[in-house]
A and B are shown apart, each in its own frame.
Chain A
């Protein structure tokens, strides 16, 4: 099942979808959105690719081991950033490690930006893994 129109439109559309997802993740502390919403959009772009092309093609771009690694990396990054607050003598996920910056700019909010990035990577990988696992189940 290879449809030229569908595949061309998907190829054109995927960069914009991924750009939108990354924008939502990075602006999570300034505007609506954040790690979960942006990560879902990022993951659904890969799912769209797997639907328009074959699943094997999508797995060649985003293999199972890489998805597993990204998923774990997101959780580990979240935990490490959280533990950094304890090391500095505060509580878990304590903010104001390297200064908060000017309100309203992109680099404000202290640890919120790296934490949102970690959540985004984790959620995107989880969505992709969920879809691939369900697709490869035996037919009942």
Chain B
């Protein structure tokens, strides 16, 4: 059961990473990146590193998303 859960999380992680690289709308890329960070936090917790999981959840899903979103609002939304 636990192994299946790990495989599910990791495959979702890979899907998110590929989607961030390939998507043209930069705002959507930022949101998918937040989902990637959240999934990464769950994986850190599963790998018995709750310290890193907490930092990843606050940093990756919170602050990085905000800063990237401000950066998108200052520049163009569509990738050329």
| Interface residues, chain A, with chain B CB atoms under 8 Å away | 24, 32-34, 36-37, 40-41, 43-44, 47, 51, 127, 130-131, 134-135, 137-140
Contact A36 B63 (CB under 8 A): no
Chain A residues with Cβ under 8 A from B54's Cβ?
24, 32-33, 37
Listed from nearest, the 8 A-B pairs whose CB atoms lie closest are: A32-B50, A40-B58, A32-B51, A37-B55, A37-B54, A44-B62, A134-B70, A41-B58
Closest beta carbon of chain A to B68's beta carbon, Å: 10
Q: Which residue of A lies closest to B62 (CB)?
A: A44
- Contacts known (A33-B51, A139-B74, A140-B74); A47 close to B66, Cβ less than 8 A: yes
Chain B residues with Cβ under 8 A from A137's Cβ?
74
Of B53, B66, B75, most buried by chain A (CB within 10 Å of CB) is B66
- Is B59 part of the contact surface with A, judged by Cβ < 8 Å? yes
Interface residues of chain B: helix, strand, loop or mixed (majority)? helix
- Contacts known (A32-B50, A32-B51, A33-B51); A131 close to B59, Cβ less than 8 A: no
A31–B65 Cα distance when bound, in Å, is 26
- Is B71 part of the contact surface with A, judged by Cβ < 8 Å? yes
Q: Which of B32-72 contact A (CB under 8 A)?
A: 50-51, 53-55, 58-59, 62-63, 66-67, 70-71
A127–B62 Cα distance when bound, in Å, is 11
- Contacts known (A137-B74, A139-B74, A140-B75); A131 close to B55, Cβ less than 8 A: no
From B63, B74, B75, A43 is in contact (CB under 8 Å) with B63
Chain B residues with Cβ under 8 A from A139's Cβ?
74
Closest beta carbon of chain A to B67's beta carbon, Å: 6
